[in-house]
Structure 1
């Protein structure tokens, strides 16, 4: 098994680490494929309630795509590049965005290109005060290809996103917080403890309800509000017959902490 992605599950948290620190955790094809396989594994693991995604080493969350590998695909023609690079990267970010368990990025350093696009796609993100972000694809003569032209404007607004996309200039963790790319910035040494604390606050609640919320929000963002409200209604209807809803209501009536089973 490849060690480009590490997985450790403890206390309900599945910690995924992008593990190419000598390459600033660049997103090689092997790493992306391994990440997808790890997500498949976590999805069916009842002991994993929340996913935390971070990078190995002290320098980078991920500096983006593996340019040497991508260049080889480009040299073999646009169809090969679209198949090997674009579709693979878009599938990865779409998988993270729609994952039924909450995914929190713990951004420990550089989050450039594809690393920034992962941060855009996941449900929540906490950044180290040492983290920095950039949309540098324009420096290579290309647009972002893992969803950055679509998700960043939805997060930051069209004009702020276009400034980042058209200049390629790095921006700080504080700026990422200001535009809504991350939820919180913490001192570097507190990054994983703060991320675990947030995961713990999520895991107090029904995992089925969390999955329903993620689905309604993710799907609804790309719909007119009327269609989104229909998705919300459908998600509630799916929750109505579950034991978790029965337990949540009973716990509220009895003024006690709920004991959710995820059924």
Structure 2
């Protein structure tokens, strides 16, 4: 059988590929389940420090959910559709959002529907100039169901998000950059190298600190500022006494200083 989520190890970075190019990497149930298995294994593998997620082929990152498959769940009724389709997709995007190691989407082509929702959920995203985004669920007479009605307004603002959600029209990588959906746009041939370089900028820092930043930012986003500050405090406290913090502070104190520099 074809591996739905092949993994390539690039030193301490895992490159995961959504691998249904003949279906524009549509997110069927088996692919989502396989991605979750990959993430479970990566989380407990200390040798892997970051994840890059991309799509197979030259056309798509992911065209979204597999409509043929989830239509069958819808036909069996609301309970089946929610259990098989909605809950599975929301669990996947929540897992990506809260994953303790940085996850970077390398958006190589169209990212529609669920593909766009993955881009919304991951920590960082780099888009090819050939990428294209859309929230087309409204054209199927339904809202997004993998978190798109919640994350996109938080990223882009309510009015900008609603325009995309209510029209379903495609938008460019430049617009995705302008609304905060992606971090940068690069020439197509430089996409994976740009994502790799971004990952390496992050993993030069201690893993505990990286996880603390991700956890505090992800959890705090949906809390009041006072509650978020308590999360931030707890993340810092958990690092106190750990070797990486002691070493970081010691290295800072012992760093070379310019003449007359203090602190």
Partner residue in 2 for 1:201: 201
CA distance in 2, matches of 1:46, 1:215: 18
Matches within 5 A, 1:137-176: 137-176=137-176
Q: Contact between 1:12 and 1:48, CA under 8 Å: does it hold in 2?
A: yes
Partner residue in 2 for 1:259: none
1:129 and 2:129 matched: yes
1:82–1:193 Cα change, 3 Å: same
Partner residue in 1 for 2:101: 101
Extract structure 1 runs of 4+ deviating beyond 4 A: none
**Ranges in structure 2 where 5+ consecutive residues have no aligned partner:** 257-263
CA distance in 1, matches of 2:254, 2:6: 42
Matches within 5 A, 1:41-190: 41-190=41-190
- The offset of 1:8, in angstroms, is 1.4
Q: TM-score, normalised by structure 2?
A: 0.96
Partner residue in 2 for 1:238: 238
Partner residue in 1 for 2:259: none
**Ranges in structure 1 where 5+ consecutive residues have no aligned partner:** 257-263
Partner residue in 2 for 1:26: 26
State the SS of the aligned residue for 1:45. Answer: coil
- The offset of 1:10, in angstroms, is 2.0
CA distance in 2, matches of 1:248, 1:93: 33
Q: Contact between 1:2 and 1:34, CA under 8 Å: does it hold in 2?
A: no
Matches within 5 A, 1:199-238: 199-238=199-238
1:196-242: CA deviation from partner (whole Å, max 9, x where unpaired): 00011001101100000000000000000000000000000001111
CA distance in 1, matches of 2:135, 2:150: 13
Deviates more, 1:89-98 or 1:243-252: 243-252
Q: Contact between 1:61 and 1:108, CA under 8 Å: does it hold in 2?
A: yes
Q: Contact between 1:27 and 1:65, CA under 8 Å: does it hold in 2?
A: yes
State the SS of the aligned residue for 2:205. Answer: coil
Let me know the Cα RMSD of the aligned residues: 0.9
Number of aligned residues: 256
- The offset of 1:12, in angstroms, is 0.7
CA distance in 2, matches of 1:239, 1:246: 9
Q: Contact between 1:89 and 1:145, CA under 8 Å: does it hold in 2?
A: yes
CA distance in 2, matches of 1:140, 1:146: 15
- The offset of 1:2, in angstroms, is 5.8
